[in-house]
Every structure is written in C-alpha cells, then in structure tokens.
Structure 1
C-alpha cells in the first residue's frame, strides 16, 4: 500500500498497487482462462524439461501473455462497468466532479465496491483510478448522449431514462464551468512572480534532445523512484519461467542473454520515445484534467505571441502538473516557445470545424475556445 495516499481509497487500485502493471497482473491471475493456460504451460514446461528439450514456443507465449494482458483486463473492466451505467450517472449527478481527480477517485471507490458486491468483478479493483472512470464516463455515456441529441428522435425523447441522463449531463457540464471558475480564482491569487523565478528545462539541460531523454526516463521510472517495481517483477517472472524451461546446464547463458536483451531493449525503447517527444507535440500524455488546467492557465495569462508570457504559462503548468500527479516532474514543457508551438500544433483554429473532434470533445469545446482566443496574436493587452 502506498501510505502517502489517503487511506479511504481502499478500492482504488492506483493507491493499492505500485504500478498499473502489477494491478493488471493481479487481476489477470483471477481470470479462469488465464489460470488454465498457466497450468497447461507449466505442465508442458515440466514435461519438456524432463525430456531435456527447450520449449521455445511455450516461453514466448508466456512472455507475450504478460504484454497483451493489459488490453484484456481493460476490456473486461469496461464490460463490467457498462452494467453499472445507472449508478455511475447517479454518482456524477450527486458528486458533480468536473475534472477534479479526487472527486472521480471518490466515485471510483464506490463504483468498484458495488461492481464487486454484485458479482461482476472478482475483486474490488475493477477500475484503476478516477481518470479511468472519467474516461469511461465520457466514452460510454457522454459521447453517445451527444450523438443521440443530433437526431430528431433523440432530441425529442422525453422518457424517464432519457430525462435522467440529460440531468446527469447538465450536472456534469455545470460542474465543468464551476471547476473552471474556481481554478481561475486560484490563478488570480497565484503569485506569478514565484513562477517567473522558477527554472525552465531550457535553463537546466544542454539541449532539447537531452531534456526529452531525461523527461522520458523520469516518466518511465515514475519520477526518480527506484526502477518501476513492475519491471523488476516482470524480470523476476521471466527468470522463474527460464528456470522452469531451460536445462540447468544452459541456464547461465540464457540468463545472461535475457539480461542483456532486456537492458538493450530498454535503452532502445527510451531512445525511441525521446525522439518521439522531441519531434512531435506531447498533449497525448495529458489527461482531460491536465488539458483543462493548461487551457485555463493560457486563458488567464492571455499570452498572444509574447514568448515571455508563454514562459510563465510553461512554468505554471509544469509546477501544476507536479502537484496533480505527485511526480516531481517540473519539466513537461521545455520552454515558452515549445509550449506555444505545442498548443498551436495540437489545436489549430480549424479544429473547431472538425466534426469528429467536436462530436468526441463537445463538453470541452467552450473551454478550448477561451484558450484559443487568449493565444491569438491580437490578444495581447
């Protein structure tokens, strides 16, 4: 248990497991099909070891299983959550969470408990965290509702279920507006002089690629903590599987090969991600709550094309991202120019004419419009 987090979240995996991978592995072991596959694999390995053979296919299958399991667990989690859409709507109506992560964690705590008590999930850890619940709400409830309102039949539907859903959506949209106003008030009292004194990554790193490399490494290691425990667990699991599958006489060479291969793969993966972050914008790393925070800061500072003001936006967001995720990463944006170009590349003004984006992000459109207005060249005071 991560004791630095609130103890009331007993049924939110984010607070009970060191990493999502360990949660996935834990839930995976509760799936009957996986249990059967593991049993068959172990028996096959034991039989092969007795014959002195090396069942390469069995090993590769077991190793791949560890990587493809995430999608399996997420799909099963969504399927279980869909049976409790009514409760999720009731919780959203009552809690009015906006994009407040803690409020969504509260909702997730109660939803996970209910899903388990009704026998739809083997443990009390169905949805990983509040952000997972929020994403599910937007994809499975909010977007279908908006799409239904585009048809005459959907807009005129006055049934009890439709009225209840409309009430939930209205409560959610109002909570977004309330969150924006409250956060804007926080920014009014925020001392931007303190932000101005903070250092940007461009003042710390010798180059943008150096920043991208360290940025990826810190994200991968979860902010300067010891190498993600899930990776150690994965390596240990691989080692145990090797012991089962490889004859003792060849075990040493296979362990060396596995270690070298894992380290080489890790380095290559980091270089690839660093290049990706260096070349492309990185809003894909941000959740909806982070995006709203970013837009609110832009709207408040009103930077236009003033790079110095964009520096303040970058510093303020970097610090805010640290507070929200407790990850000691004050390096999300390299500098103000990077922040400005990332915003404009990710959100060109034409995006408001993109039908697909409007349909999937309809609840966020009013807030993005405010940020776009504040980023216009003629918006300078």
Structure 2
C-alpha cells in the first residue's frame, strides 16, 4: 500500500511538473541565440529582403548583355549598399504599420494583464500578441516581439507617448480612430499599475544613503569644471574621437583662418554633446535609476543650493554603487544636478513634445511635478 501511495505521489508530482512546463511562456528570446540572430531571421523572412535579392537577377542579365560595364557597375554598387538600408527602413515601417492596425488588440492585452514594471506580465502580452498577429496574418512570423523589453518599448512609442501628446479628444480620435476608448482604458490600467510599483519602490526597493560623510563633490576636488570635464573625456573610450579631433586640426591647417577655428570648434562642441548624451544613458536608461533620482529630490529636506548639493552627492554615490557610473563624479555640483533635472525631466514635461534621443517619461509625469514642487525655490542657474 505504501509503495502504491509513493508511486501515486510521484506520478502526481510528474504531472504537476509537466503542467508547469506546458504553462511556461516561450518567447523568441528563448528560441534564438541573441537579438541579432532574431533580427537576421526576421529580415530574411521579410518581403523587402526578397525583392532586394530578386533585383540581382535582372542586374546579372544586364551585365551579360551590356557592352559597357560602367553603368551596370554603378547600379550594382547602389543596389549593394543602398539595398540593405532600404530593407531595414521598410522593415521598421512595416512593424509600425502592422502594430498600428492592431492597437485595439494591443490595448486589450494591456488591460487584461496589467503590466507595469514586472517583466513577467509583459511576457504574457508578448506571447499572446505574437500568436495573434501571426494567426490573423498581420505578421508573417510568430516572432513579432523579441522579448518583454521590445514589447514595452513599442507600447511607449506607438501608444503611450503619441496618445499622451495629443492635446484634445478630436486630435486623439483623428489619429487613433476607434481605438481611443481601448487606449484610454489601457493607459489607466497601466498608470494604476505603475503607481503601485512606485509605492512598492518607496517602501521596499528604494536606496538609502549610508556613509555620505566622506563623499565629496567634484567641485571640491577639481580646480574647475573644465578640468573635471577634460578628465572625464580623456579616456580610452574617447581615443577614436580625440584622434579624429587631431586629424581635423591637421587638415584644417591647409585652409583659411576662419575654417581653422570653426572646424575644430564645431568638432569640440560635438564631443561635448556626445558627453552629455553619454550621461543620459547612465541615468535615463533604467527606470529604477530615474525613480531613485526623483525620489531623492522629493525627500531632500535641505533647501536652496545646499539641497541640490546633497542630491548630487547622494546620486553620485548611488550611481557608483549600482555600477551605472565608474566613479562618484556623475554630477559636478548642485547646479549641474538641477540643470540635469530641468533639462531631461521637467522641460519635457512642460513642453510635452518628443525630443530626439530623450525619453518622454510619461508614466513619471506626476512624480516629476511632485519633485518640481518640492524644489519650488528659484532656479540656481537664474540667480
């Protein structure tokens, strides 16, 4: 009897394990070695790629029939180099067009699964939408979304940000037509879920500063902001840029004085711009870092310049501990910290316009307002 009971228990365990395995969500990220192999497969299956390949057939016939090989050579080079660009552009436009026609179903999945920052919830949406798009012949493979991150990004760029930027109901109906009520419901569900994640982050996941007494701001270490800036860009990663800068100086010596000044100057300004965008990738890529930045601003009790200095000191330590920055010198001083908040957070909220390379952070708008209200003193940069 005992042996039979043990066998029955084992069989039940095996069945339950198999059920769990059958319920496991399989995404393209589990089927392909990397996002690159998935991307190549999707390109290979696209109609644009097949058209590009078929173009070589008439070109080869032209090569054989033509007495002058110059024109076939020029056309072949154009097809060779411009063809892949054409394929990539068409592929991205096709993805956006296919998804824009299925916004209602997309929003229904969002409403049903209520995803926020939880990757598993987005994985359910990915699995359902990949199957739906393939079965309804909206996409030619079962791999429309590679993973949860890809799906969340498409949700932001096709639904969340465009819909939030529309000023009135008429503009929303004109752009999204019958999908408007489903989008509004999905955004409400998403905002509610994100608010829960924000409260959970405050209570359980937020970072608490410890031992800040020994943390110095770069303004107390370096002679000036210029020396701090030059130290940061004189790295092995910036070596190609510096070589190009020196080459620009050497080449400009053969031209007039105005060009010799203008060319290196513009190149140096471009390097400064790249440096600023390098900082944005460190802080603005992960939602966790952005939430911590806003929470640090909201919770800071000190006012004025000292308050922003404290925020800069805390964020310098936080980004270093989270390995988002290589040292504790992300912000030079409080003014630099305030400028970063005003430029990459509050300015986007005030303008409500998308800017190149800058995320709109729509889900963070209520907390950006709260952070701005908590620092309602006059801007340090305007004094």
Q: Same fold (TM over 0.5)?
A: yes
Answer yes or no: is 1:193 the counterpart of 2:210: yes
With 42-51 and 310-319 compared, the bigger mean Cα shift is at 42-51
Cα drift, residue 154 of structure 1? 8.2
Contact 1:92 1:168 (8 Å CA) reproduced:
yes
Of structures 1 and 2, the one scoring higher in RCO (CA 8 A, sep 6+) is 1
Q: Distance in 2 between matches of 1:185 and 1:46?
A: 70
Q: Distance in 2 between matches of 1:198 and 1:48?
A: 70
Partner residue of 1:63 out of 69, 74, 81: 81
CA deviation string 1:253-278 (max 9, x = no partner): xxxxxxxxxxxxxxxxx999754322
Q: Distance in 2 between matches of 1:297 and 1:18?
A: 36
CA deviation string 1:189-246 (max 9, x = no partner): x34227888999999xx853564576977xxxxxxxxxxxxxxxxxxxxxxxxxxxxx
After superposition, the CA RMSD in angstroms is 4.8
Matched ranges for 1:250-265 at <5 A: none
Matched ranges for 1:48-127 at <5 A: 48=63, 55-127=73-145
Figure out how many residues of one structure are paired with residues of the other and give that number. Answer: 304
Cα drift, residue 169 of structure 1? 2.5
Answer yes or no: is 1:313 the counterpart of 2:329: no
Q: Distance in 1 between matches of 2:62 and 2:212?
A: 64
Contact 2:63 2:69 (8 Å CA) reproduced:
yes
Q: Distance in 2 between matches of 1:352 and 1:161?
A: 25
Q: Distance in 1 between matches of 2:378 and 2:136?
A: 57
Matched ranges for 1:133-212 at <5 A: 133-142=151-160, 150-151=168-169, 164-188=182-206, 190-193=207-210, 208-209=229-230, 211-212=232-233
TM-score with structure 1 setting the length: 0.60
Corresponding residue for residue 275 of structure 2: 278
Contact 2:103 2:179 (8 Å CA) reproduced:
no
Unaligned runs of 5+ in 1: 1-7, 218-269, 323-328
Structure of greater Rg:
2
Q: Distance in 1 between matches of 2:236 and 2:115?
A: 30
Structure 1 runs (4+) greater than 6 angstroms displaced: 49-52, 152-155, 194-203, 270-273
TM-score with structure 2 setting the length: 0.60
Cα drift, residue 174 of structure 1? 0.7
Taking a change above 3 Å as real, the CA distance of residues 32 and 23 of structure 1, as seen in their structure-2 partners, is same
Taking a change above 3 Å as real, the CA distance of residues 333 and 24 of structure 1, as seen in their structure-2 partners, is farther
